[in-house]
Amino acid sequence: FYNCNFETERPLIRNILEVSTMFSAGRHSCVRSLALLKRLKSTLVIVEHNNEKLAPVTLNTVTAATKIGGEISCLVLGSQCSKVAVEVSKIKGVSKVLVADNEAFIGFLPEVVTPFLEATQKQLKFTHILASATAIGKNILPRLAAKLDVSPISEIIGVQDDSTFVRTIYAGNAIQTLKSNEPVKIVTVRGTAFEAAELGGNAATENLTSEVVKSQLSEYVGQELSKSDRPELTSAKAVVAGGRGMKSGENFKILYELADKLNAAVGASRAAVDAGFVPNDMQVGQTGKIVAPDLYIAIGISGAIQHLAGMKDSKVIVAINKDPEAPIFQVADYGLVEDLFKAVPQITQLITKK
Amino acid sequence: MSGLRILVGCKRVIDYAVKIRVKPDKTGVVTDGVKHSMNPFDEIAVEEAVRMKEKKIVSEIVAVSCGPTQCQEVLRTALAMGADRAIHVEVDAATYENLQPLHVAKIIAKIAQEEKVDIVVTGKQAIDDDANQTGQMVAALLNWPQATFASKIEKTDGELKVEREIDGGLETIKVKLPAVFTSDLRLNEPRYATLPNIMKAKKKPLVKKTPTDFGVDVTARQTILKVEEPAVRQAGSKLASAEELVTKLREAGLIPS
């Protein structure tokens, strides 16, 4: 049996031996056990939340996990996060909810979370570990991967099979398909590329017992979150975004008025953020948020490669710009060459009027 | 008593303003004869290191780049911006195609140990592979704390207070030294290298190494099966008026009717 030179999969092979008597030593059974191994996929999805509520992007990540196949466990780690665990148990496709409730997880410091994940992985031996490609997922998964000595895969937009994934490179100007040769696939998932998983599941909850060690290396001080009643940028059905053409932060008021009529989130280009019109977390683009709403209205945005990277998968793109040569018109379904200060209030009014 | 030593990772990438082309055989993107420059986030990282030196927080800046010979141009830029010396870890073109953040992180971690640096800084992501992994992996390998997506850094007693850009706003953390941080766009405005500094940079030390010198195995962990053009959007139409636009959107059911 040990003729199969799969060092890393040996523990799994042992598991099979324990549960099944159908294998005897020899090459034949080795082949069969490998076929069985292929079916023994188990995915861990690291749940994103703020201890109160589940982040919607986790639902998209669960869908990506479903495409990989195999049993899906979701890990909720946080502080007083039982409400979140209940929400997660209702996601369709999830077999098990693992919960680790500890004050040390406040702030999701990678120096605390990573050793815990490492210990959990040593114990439960998942074949896939997934997280959403958010600030938290991007911060933690590469650290975990290095600890496990595997090469992670960032921000996938497609799953071909359990080891073949699709992702974008060069600000979305090329699509790369790659096959991971690693025993454990550590992957972050671009939420907008997958549908949200439905609710209606009923997964069992289990507390994890891995040791939690408080970090001596880092300390969480606090957060300053931008407050907004509008929908969240990455999950909104409609997004209204302003660029340098807005000229000032006050002028964004006309975008907020339009956004409220459309129940839209408000985004911005890097130029608008750099000019100090709006805060950074509103930036749409290669290095900001990636959005793919049904309707994206780009206002006073020229359409640089880096901005397009963040929105060109939107279903319908509208561009309002007074420069007819602006590159944004090359991707816009509907373009309006007009002064935005005239056009935007007019559109808001037309929508109100019906 | 000398200050701290800082190691800066610099990647040579296709210039951000270039519209890239995918090779017809779908093996990658066309890089020959295409303008390259330092990854924009790495420029910000170098700038931050130089500012730390100007504030007398650090005493020496070492720049490192992994890749083909041309990476030395990027290192010279870092030297012209104010880095003191550079290490080029040469990787031949074929190996470089499959060089992954994990490999680079292992090399950087080894250099950090050998050079006894106190801080490692990289850009938050390279604009070619868009991976956003290297800094985190260096921190993991060294078992140092990490402060990713930094938009503001202050040095206090034995630690760094870092403001980070997160999804809903900003977050503040403190990390003990030694530490790794990765730069976000908002961290600073990188300076231009002046001509006299470019001339001086030519005389600064640049040593050449290979991954083997650091005992790092650069065998590919992933196989790139293909690289394709993204789907091209259908060209749309320009409309004459705001009325027409609202009508079209209403017909498509995109605005409340």
Under the banding of pLDDT at 50, 70 and 90, the label for residue A33 is low
Q: Check CB contact under 8 Å for A226 and B169.
A: yes
Q: What angle do CA A216, A220, A225 make, to 5 degrees?
A: 170
Same domain, A268 and A150: no
DSSP A198: P
State residue A24's pLDDT score: 42
How far, in Å, CA of A242 to CA of A244, rounded?
Answer: 7
Nearest CB partner across the interface for B221, out of A150, A224, A316: A150
Same domain, A196 and A279: no
A321 assigned ligand-binding residue: yes
Which residues in chain B have Cβ-Cβ distances shorter than 8 Å to A264? none
Query: What burial class does residue B189 get, using C-beta atoms within 10 Å of its C-beta: 0-12 exposed, 13-18 middle, 19+ buried?
Result: exposed
Which residues in chain A have Cβ-Cβ distances shorter than 8 Å to B224? 176-178
Nearest-CA distance B79 → chain A (Å): 26
Q: Is residue A177 part of a domain?
A: yes
For residue B26, the enclosing domain spans 4-252
Query: B27 forms bridges with which residues in the sheet?
Result: none
Query: A78 forms bridges with which residues in the sheet?
Result: A101
Q: Is residue A168 part of a domain?
A: yes
Q: How many domains does chain A have?
A: 2
Q: Is residue A70 part of a domain?
A: yes
Q: Are B98 and B92 in contact (CB under 8 A)?
A: no
Same domain, A203 and A61: yes
- We report the CATH number of the domain holding residue A132 as 3.40.50.620
Which residues in chain B have Cβ-Cβ distances shorter than 8 Å to A224? 169-172
Q: How many CB atoms lie within 10 A of CB B123?
A: 29
Question: Would you say residue A55 has pLDDT above 70?
Answer: yes
Q: Is residue A225 part of a domain?
A: no
pLDDT tens for each residue of B157-167: 899 999 999 99
Q: Check CB contact under 8 Å for A164 and B239.
A: no
B66, containing H or E segment: strand B58-67
Which of residues A185, A207, A229 is at a domain's end?
A207
Average pLDDT of span A171-195: 96
Same domain, A107 and A65: yes
Nearest-CA distance A137 → chain B (Å): 11
Q: Check CB contact under 8 Å for A146 and B136.
A: yes
Question: Would you say residue A5 has pLDDT above 50?
Answer: no
Same domain, A297 and A202: no
Same domain, A203 and A242: no
Q: Is the ipTM of this complex over 0.85?
A: yes
Q: Is residue B213 part of a domain?
A: yes
Phi-psi region of B79 (alpha: psi -120 to 50; beta: other; left: phi over 0): alpha
Q: Is residue B257 part of a domain?
A: no
Nearest CB partner across the interface for A225, out of B138, B168, B225: B168
The nearest alpha carbon in chain A to B177 belongs to A217
Q: Are A303 and B218 in contact (CB under 8 A)?
A: no
Global confidence as pTM: 0.89
- We report the CATH number of the domain holding residue A256 as 3.40.50.1220
> Buried (b) or exposed (e) across B1-38, using 16+ Cβ within 10 A?
eeebbbbbbbbbbbebebebebeeebeebebeeeebbb
Nearest CB partner across the interface for A221, out of B41, B173, B226: B173
State residue A210's pLDDT score: 84
Nearest CB partner across the interface for B221, out of A151, A174, A286: A151
Nearest-CA distance B209 → chain A (Å): 23
State residue A228's pLDDT score: 82
State residue A2's pLDDT score: 39
Q: How many domains does chain B have?
A: 1
How far, in Å, CA of A339 to CA of A328, rounded?
Answer: 15
- We report the CATH number of the domain holding residue B154 as 3.40.50.620
Residues with Cβ within 8 Å of B119's Cβ and at least 6 positions away in sequence, in order, are: B4, B5, B6, B7, B52, B58, B160, B177, B178, B179, B180, B181
Instruction: Compute CA A348 distance to the chain's CA centroid, rounded to the nearest angstrom.
Output: 32
Nearest to B122 by CA among B70, B164, B64: B64
Q: Is the CA virtual torsion A281, A284, A290, A292 positive or negative?
A: positive
Question: Would you say residue A11 has pLDDT above 60?
Answer: no
Which residues in chain A have Cβ-Cβ distances shorter than 8 Å to B181? none
Q: Is residue A164 part of a domain?
A: yes
Average pLDDT of span B52-71: 97
How far, in Å, CA of A297 to CA of A340, rounded?
Answer: 12
Torsion of Cα atoms, B204 then B210 then B214 then B219, to 10°? 140
Q: Is the CA virtual torsion A72, A76, A81, A84 positive or negative?
A: negative
Residues in chain B, total: 257
Q: Is residue A246 part of a domain?
A: yes
Q: Check CB contact under 8 Å for B149 and A110.
A: no
Q: Is residue A226 part of a domain?
A: no
Under the banding of pLDDT at 50, 70 and 90, the label for residue A226 is confident
Same domain, A83 and A193: yes
Please state, for a pLDDT cut of 90, what percent of chain A lies above it: 83
Extended beta strands in A210-293, E state: 218-225, 238-242, 265-268
Same domain, A258 and A349: yes
How far, in Å, CA of A269 to CA of A308, rounded?
Answer: 10
Q: Check CB contact under 8 Å for B20 and A174.
A: yes
Question: Would you say residue B100 has pLDDT above 60?
Answer: yes
For residue A158, the enclosing domain spans 41-207
Nearest CB partner across the interface for B176, out of A142, A218, A312: A218
Q: Is residue B167 part of a domain?
A: yes
Which tokens belong to A161?
A: 């099979």
Q: How many CA atoms lie within 13 A of B20 on its CB side?
A: 29
Q: Is residue A27 part of a domain?
A: no
Same domain, A173 and A261: no
Nearest-CA distance A232 → chain B (Å): 9
Nearest-CA distance A21 → chain B (Å): 34
How far, in Å, CA of A311 to CA of A54, rounded?
Answer: 24
Nearest to A322 by CA among A246, A267, A241: A246
A302 assigned ligand-binding residue: yes
Which residues in chain B have Cβ-Cβ distances shorter than 8 Å to A191? none
Nearest to B109 by CA among B49, B57, B178, B42: B178
Same domain, A55 and A183: yes
A349 assigned ligand-binding residue: no
How far, in Å, CA of A254 to CA of A247, rounded?
Answer: 12
Which residues in chain B have Cβ-Cβ distances shorter than 8 Å to A226? 168-169
Under the banding of pLDDT at 50, 70 and 90, the label for residue A105 is very high
Residue A112 amino acid letter:
V
Which residue has tokens 């890089």?
A: B31
Under the banding of pLDDT at 50, 70 and 90, the label for residue A16 is very low
Nearest-CA distance A93 → chain B (Å): 27
Q: Is residue B232 part of a domain?
A: yes
How far, in Å, CA of B29 to CA of B14, rounded?
Answer: 10
Average pLDDT of span A310-336: 95
A163 assigned ligand-binding residue: no
Which residue has tokens 């030519």?
A: B202
State residue B44's pLDDT score: 98
Q: In what side-by-side order are the strands of the sheet with A295-299?
A: A265-268, A238-242, A295-299, A316-320, A334-336, B237-239
Same domain, A175 and A320: no
Chain B interface, best mutation among A157, A169, A214, A273, by max B CB count within 10 A? A169
